[in-house]
Amino acid sequence: MIAKRYEPFWKTTPMAQMAPSEWESICDGCGKCCLQKMVDDETEEVYYTNLSCHQLDINACRCKVYDQRLEKVEGCLSLRPEDVAAFDWLPDTCSYRVLHQTGDLPNWHPLVVGSDREMKTQGLNVSHYAVNENTVDEERWEEHIIKWVHGMPEPYDPTY
Ligand code: SF4
Ligand code: SF4
């Protein structure tokens, strides 16, 4: 007898129809969306810095005020399935983007692996390079611009 193979929910349930707990579990906890961004006035291009929101617990890559984040931090956003088409400002490795674009999660995702082991091994969360935004003067934020290559940070030299 051949055992029936069950597909995981993220392959069978459209994002807009996921239960809230399923939707939340798609977040891989990388913390990249909690890094401060700078926008070029002329091109509107978004540049990420390695400066994290002051409410991010950098070691754990967890928001310290998750349930009240929208009231506590101006500019913090709630990601909703209906906004998925506008997710292009998120990093390429964001699992919401990956799932939207490919129909599957990356092979290092905690739901696939069963833990965050692969994310830690591959350095895919920000804990090893993020710096609390409150420790750097805003005039010097430009020096903290980064770009990611295969999910890893590299110093970036802006030409604008
Ligand atoms: S970038 Fe995407 S996957 Fe990473 S913490 Fe933010 S929402 Fe979650
Ligand atoms: S308030 Fe929390 S979720 Fe929002 S940007 Fe800051 S650390 Fe991230």
- For the chain, what is the domain count? 1
Q: Is residue 12 part of a domain?
A: no
Pocket test for ligand 1, best of 25, 28, 56, 57 (most atoms within 8 A of CB): 28
| Res. 155 pLDDT band, cuts 50 70 90 | low
Q: CA distances (Å), 37 to each of 33, 91, 95, in order?
A: 9, 11, 19
Average pLDDT over residues 20-33: 96
Confidence of residue 1 (pLDDT cuts 50, 70, 90): low
Domain membership flag for residue 159: no
- Which residues, listed in sequence order, are joined to residue 20 by a DSSP beta bridge? none
CA 42 to CA 160: how far, in whole Å? 9
Share of the chain above pLDDT 70, in %: 91
Q: Which one has a higher pLDDT value, 87 or 121?
A: 121
Please name the residue whose Cα sits nearest to atom 2 of ligand 2. Answer: 63
Enter the pTM of the model: 0.89
In this prediction, residue 6 has a pLDDT band, given cuts at 50, 70 and 90, of: confident
pLDDT at 83: 86
Indicate if the pLDDT at residue 127 is higher than 70.
yes
User: Which of 23-27, 44-48, 87-91, 99-103 is the least confident region?
Assistant: 87-91
Residue bearing the bigger pLDDT, 115 or 151: 115
Instruction: Report how far ligand 2's centroid is from the alpha carbon of 73 (Å).
Output: 7
- E strand or H helix at 9: helix 9-12
Rounded to 5 degrees, what are φ and ψ at 97? Answer: -65, -45
pLDDT digits (tens, 9 = 90+) for 51-80: 999 999 999 999 999 999 999 999 898 999
Nearest CA to ligand 1 atom 6: 33
Of the candidates 74, 72, 99, the residue with the CA atom closest to the CA atom of residue 15: 99
Q: What's the Rg (C-alpha) of the chain? A: 17
Instruction: Identify whether the C-beta of residue 133 lies closer than 8 Å to the C-beta of residue 53.
Output: yes
**What is the 3-state composition of the chain as percent helix, strand, coil, each rounded to the nearest 5?**
40, 15, 45
Q: Say if CB 54 and CB 132 are below 8 A apart.
A: yes
Domain range for residue 62? 19-154
For residue 15, report the distance from its CA to the centre of ligand 2, in Å: 22
pLDDT surpasses 90 at 82: no
The CB of 56 under 6 Å from ligand 2? The reply is yes
What is the number of the ligand 2 atom nearest to the C-alpha of 53?
Answer: 6
Residue whose pair of structure tokens reads 């430009």 in the numeric block: 142
Tell me, yes or no, whether 64 lies in a domain: yes
**What is the position in ligand 1's atom list of the atom closest to the CA of 79?**
7
Asked, for residue 124, whether it belongs to a domain, the answer is yes
Q: Check pocket membership of 53 for ligand 2, CB cut-off 6 A.
A: yes
How large is the average pLDDT for residues 6-23?
95
Q: Flag whether 7 is in a domain.
A: no
